[in-house]
Chains A and B, each alone.
Chain A
Amino acid sequence: MKILNYVRTTLTAIAIGIASLAATAEASATTLNDIVSRGSVRIGVLTGAPPMGMVDEKGNPTGYDVDVANLIGGYLSLPVELVPLTPPARIPALQTGKVDFLVATLAPTGERAKTVMFTQPYSAFNMDIISGPDQKFASLADLKGKRVAVNRGSSQETALRKAAVPGMQIVVFEDDSTSAQALIAGQADAVALPSTVGEAIIKQRPDAGLQVGFTFFQQGNSMATKMQDFELRQWLNTAIYLMKISGDLDKVATKWTGRPMPTLPSF
């Protein structure tokens, strides 16, 4: 019996080895035909970043990314297998073939473009400067001599420090809501917030008279495929184009962010 057990274990190990080899081989390229013949499409979506990607009360993935992923499934006429991914897991999951492509609020950067291939942007958020009722800012130059609250270590802090408006004082808090609180309490002249967060706060505190001044930068997010999947990327770009002209993408954007998708330069 012992020998039988040993043989069984060895065979299982070999089987797993072959299966993982096959998985690696599959990771080398994914064509549209592969996906159609498999009968379902595996899409990586972001989790833990509302409203772009989160889980609902039943534990199912939901959010902007999930709606877009389901639209894509509709265009492919295939059932969608959603794979929720945390930010650092997104690109590795794509590279190891765990997902066919990503719809995971991934911003194109030069560094990332060396490892994955990006489509046209399918979502975007604005980084807004929001002020109180008694003053409104229209440009970075207006922030001269003002106190601007930001979330420590955020992309808006980096962008504002880079902008280096003379006389502007950057006041740092631990999160977005405390930064907004500083503005409401009059301890800061403005706060820099992602538009999604900013609009939620404006809605919740109508009495504070907060107003959006201007957008000082815009982050576009793209779907991503593996480096060699040109065919898949071209198909996704076409699908994004179709979602844009049919108004489907605007509907998703309005549902989750409260406004249609902003116009972004394409590449």
Chain B
Amino acid sequence: MLFLKECRKILFSFPFVLYFIATAAMYFTQFDSDCDEPLQKPVEGMESYGMTVKEIPELVMNGAAESLVEEYLAGSYQTYPYGFLKNVRLKEKDRTRMAQIIEELTGITKEELEASEEYGEVKLSKEMTYENFKERMQEADRILGGGSRYSGNFLLQFSRVPKTYEDAMEEYEQFRQRDGITGAYARLYCDYLGIVLSILPVFPAVFLAGMDERTRMEPLVYCRKILPLKLVFTRYSALIAVLHLPVVFTAVLAHIRVLGLYPGAEVKPFAIFLYALLWLSPNILTAAAVGMLSTELFSGFAGILVQGVWWFFSVMAGTQGLTGMIGRFTLVMRHNNLLGSEIFEAEWETVLFNRVFFTVFSLAAVGVTAVVFEAKRRGRYHGFSFSHGGKNPRRQSEP
């Protein structure tokens, strides 16, 4: 009963209409435009089948060592700690340690290294194992403050090789068989929609959470006997249900679009819907929870700012790699590729951890929202307004 009434409040609101339009726009301008042609089966004898990343230890180690020497000599290292390019210059102590790492990798001493501005071919020490190498790279990355080319998965970027016909065929078969076509499109669909669904839900959430205060309905709601947890969770559930409508709408469209591209092909009928539920729902849950909690805490439109900053950094972090860009705490997961299901599958545990983490985080945030709601209801907390020196002007108590 209350759930339906709350749904209605959101459904006919201006922010929800905008949310729906913006989500649909993302679908049509990005995903739909990527579905103009079906993925072609590789033909033997083609000049190129593109490049692929393969973990070939020799390539990884040589490429990374060469890059490290180059950056050492340049005295500047490129890192992307929050998705933004940062040129790191090391202090003498760290510089010396970096030289030691290079020496451990290549046998080149600091003095030899600094004797000339350029160093020719870099050869790795014969004793250097791949495991030892990765440990040194971890340390180098730590010295650089994280986000360098020598961290985790980014090391693999040193090992890009041209695809063979067999590689291309194997990928294509994975696309047809393991992904059942729709599975691959589901990842692409979630990649695009995930960007907007990590920020847009905050608008209807802030609208709903601030509605009582804006319309001066608060005292009438506050003096009812409903429990805070029941009211806040019902409102949140209604919000989440309504916010999923454009997801259902675009998922159906995406499914139909993919069926149209591959007439008669055998596809996984629920792949897009399942991916949407697992991948996109936690994004919606999170943005909506942050919107509700921030509005309850700070009043006004602070929730949009809070979520906006988080979203911005998360999206920027994704610019390092659009394929398989999945971290344990990455809000906006990226996999902007129809192929590469093996990369995604290799990260499956991380994906699960990530999505469960954001779901639990959201529910906890809503729980805190209920606590803040009750504190405001009992006159123990009056909201914090940044623009009024911490005091909420609408809640100044009058004797």
Partners in one complex: no
